[in-house]
Structure 1
Amino acid sequence: MTTRTVPHTVLVSRFGRRPFPFIILHQLHLWLLARWYDRHLQRLDLAEIDEHLLRDLGLTPEDVRRECAKSFWQA
């Protein structure tokens, strides 16, 4: 029985390309990380707003504490 040899170029072209679903999954992960980071920054900004501006927004300090206590992945 003889062993069949596959040229290196065939292996690279077959396994070197990323399949289409991987690209979509990668983009979704990047979108999700960006969303989490944006949410984190928004909560940091919210924590710095003074009470006068909070009243203008219709928020109480308790609302702000509750929102800022959430983890970055929680909406």
Structure 2
Amino acid sequence: MPIASAPLASRQTFPFVTWLHRRLLARWYDRHLQRLDLAEIDDHMLRDLGLTREDVRRECAKSFWQA
């Protein structure tokens, strides 16, 4: 009689791996929100920050996982 192995769904992941995945997803989501906010800043505030519309366009064109 063959020995049954535990189903994949019943295996627990290491807490560190779960924490790492959540942290990474939170970072990506936060970066996405920051880029949305950056896109809404007016020209006057951009000058105060030392940024141009081209800088903003370039930053907002990046994917959420790109720093």
Shift of 1:54: 0.0
Shift of 1:17: 7.1
Q: Which structure is higher in RCO with an 8 Å CA cutoff and minimum separation 6?
A: 2
CA distance, structure 2, for counterparts of residue 50 and residue 72 of structure 1: 22
* Structure index of larger Rg: 1
Q: 1:46 matched to which residue of 2?
A: 38
Count of matched residue pairs: 60
Q: What TM-score, normalized by structure 2, do the two folds share?
A: 0.81
Query: Identity percentage over the alignment?
Result: 75
User: 1:28-74 deviations in whole A, cap 9, x for unaligned?
Assistant: 00000000000000000000000000000000000000000000000
CA distance, structure 2, for counterparts of residue 57 and residue 18 of structure 1: 47
Structure 2: runs of 5+ lacking an equivalent: none
Q: 1:68 matched to which residue of 2?
A: 60
RMSD of aligned Cα (Å): 1.7
**SS of 1:71 mapped into structure 2:** coil
Runs of 4+ displaced beyond 2 Å? 16-19
